Amino acid sequence: MIKYMNKVPVFCFPVLLMILSSFSENFLTNSNLNKLSIDHVNVAVNDLSKAKLPYERLGFTIKPGRFHNNSIDNLHIKFVNGTELELITAKKPLDDLAVEYLNLINKGDGGAFLALQAKSFITTITQEFQKKYPIRIEKGVGFQNLVFDENHPLRPIWFIEMGTPFKDIPEFTTHKNSAQKLVGVWISNQIADEVMELFTLLKRPIKTTDLPIKDSQRICLDGGEICLVNLPINTIGRPIVGVTIEVAKINITKEILKSEEIFYSEIFNDSTKSIIISPDFTQNIYIEFREYKRNL
């Protein structure tokens, strides 16, 4: 059953399925991708104080961030499993990362990056993988990142490898809307070829699903998913177009939206109930609240 509320539509788009042939190359050594999960999503914004307001109205608790030496500043929406949404901005071009964020922000607010927690991935990556992709490895204290070159279509996706992921205190992971964890990221299927090739090489299962949009391609992660959705790259040129957040009780979320007079659409099936918020409300990124059958 699909419901409309105040002219916010649930999606109905033609679908183009993109199927990759299997690859024989062994790009990874051993079973080093036993754990590949969502870490966080960055949403680049021009004005942090303005950007946080719709998220507060949606019932999220906002954790203060900190001002960095390179002019980057941020706010956090933390979840109990260590995942998060990060609202992030930059003020001055003091290093390459700040310059990149400023370039993104100049085009408008929106999803910027998806960071994937990749246990043992970077340390065991083979030379064949490094030859195939224009990547670099950035090392820090207790962690290392694998990133694609700035002009590559896969630039919005990067991998982080660390010891034990940080989980915040209940003060910051308890939300009025009953949000529990970030479980999905929507990516426009306009870069589906590159994304599906990457995750086929990383030996991740890919299935067709009708959530969050009919005939999406679901890349299975540990405890989450990347969904290639039949939506165009948005007007500001960002392929990350939405996120899915698991909630304990969708009715709690719904009551908050009604009290705040926020428009939404609903999707029901045998295993989930979902509420979808228009990107016009949340910095050019769809927000899906999803309750799973085990909670119903």
Compute the distance between CA of residue 215 and CA of residue 14 in angstroms, rounded to an integer. Answer: 9
Residue 22, pLDDT above cutoff 60: no
Same fold, 2-7+175-295 and 36-162: yes
Q: What is the mean pLDDT of residues 209-230?
A: 94
Mean pLDDT lowest for which of 16-25, 37-46, 190-199, 214-223? 16-25
Provide the pLDDT for residue 1: 38
pLDDT of residue 142: 82
What value does the mean pLDDT take over residues 40-65? 97
Q: φ and ψ at 95, to 5 degrees?
A: -155, 180
* pLDDT surpasses 70 at 24: no
Joined together, the tokens standing for residue 147 give 């990133």
Percent of the chain with pLDDT strictly greater than 70: 87
Distance CA(198)–CA(38), nearest Å, equals: 16
- Cα gap 180→115, rounded to integer Å: 18
Nearest-angstrom CA–CA distance, 121 and 115: 13
With cut-offs at 50, 70 and 90, classify the pLDDT of residue 28. Answer: low
For residues 83 and 246, the answer to whether their CB atoms sit within 8 Å is: no
Q: So what's the pLDDT on residue 163? A: 73
The single residue listed with the structure tokens 């970077």 is 122
Helix (H, G, I), strand (E, B) or coil at 295: helix
3-state SS, residue 55: helix
- Pick from 57-66, 82-91, 110-119, 128-137: least confident: 128-137
- Every domain of the chain and the residues it spans: 2-7+175-295, 36-162
Average pLDDT over residues 111-136: 86
What amino acid is encoded at 106 in this protein?
A: N
In CATH terms, the superfamily for domain 2-7+175-295 is: 2,3-Dihydroxybiphenyl 1,2-Dioxygenase, domain 1 (3.10.180.10)
Q: Per-residue pLDDT for 3 more than 70?
A: no
Mean pLDDT value of segment 99-105: 96
Of the candidates 202, 186, 175, 152, the one whose C-alpha atom is nearest the C-alpha of residue 279 is: 186
User: CATH says 36-162 is which class?
Assistant: alpha beta
CA distance 144 to 137: 7
What pLDDT is attached to residue 134? 94
Is residue 31 over pLDDT 90? no
Per-residue model confidence as pLDDT tens digits over 235-264: 788 999 999 999 999 999 999 999 999 999
Contacts of 234 (CB under 8 A, 6+ apart): 110, 188, 241, 279, 284
- Give the tokens for residue 210: 């009708």
User: 108 versus 19: which is more confidently predicted?
Assistant: 108
186 vs 235 pLDDT, higher one: 186
**pTM value surpassing 0.85:** yes
Verify cis geometry, omega within 30 degrees of 0, for the bond prior to 64: no
Q: What is the mean pLDDT of the chain?
A: 87
As to burial, measured by CB atoms within 10 angstroms (0-12 exposed, 13-18 middle, 19+ buried), residue 115 is: buried
Q: Quick one: average pLDDT of 186-200?
A: 95
Q: State percent of the chain over pLDDT 90.
A: 71
